Amino acid sequence: MKSKEKLKQVTFEANDLQIDDNCVRYRDIKAKHIVFTQGVILTHNPWFSQVPLHQTKGELMIIEVKICKKKHH
């Protein structure tokens, strides 16, 4: 993915993230979704301050996401 420039490894700065109804913007990146892979540093991410996170050894992460698309009339 890195060779196709679909994956960037950067130090995340929460103030640079903008989320609106249509997209996610981070610096020069515009996308439909964003995936945080910050490990334990995620506990300091203001976007997740209300989520009760528990530190683990990082051996397993299961994420289930159901996305509902809005109907436009």
Kindly report, residue by residue over 9-29, the tens digit of the pLDDT.
788 888 999 999 899 999 988
Distance CA 67, CA 22 (A): 14
CA contacts within 13 A on the Cβ side of 72: 2
The per-residue pLDDT for 61 is 67
Beta carbons within 8 Å of 57's beta carbon, 6+ residues apart: none
Q: Is the pTM of this model over 0.85?
A: no
Any bridge partners for residue 24, and if so which? 19, 31
Helices (H), 1-73: none
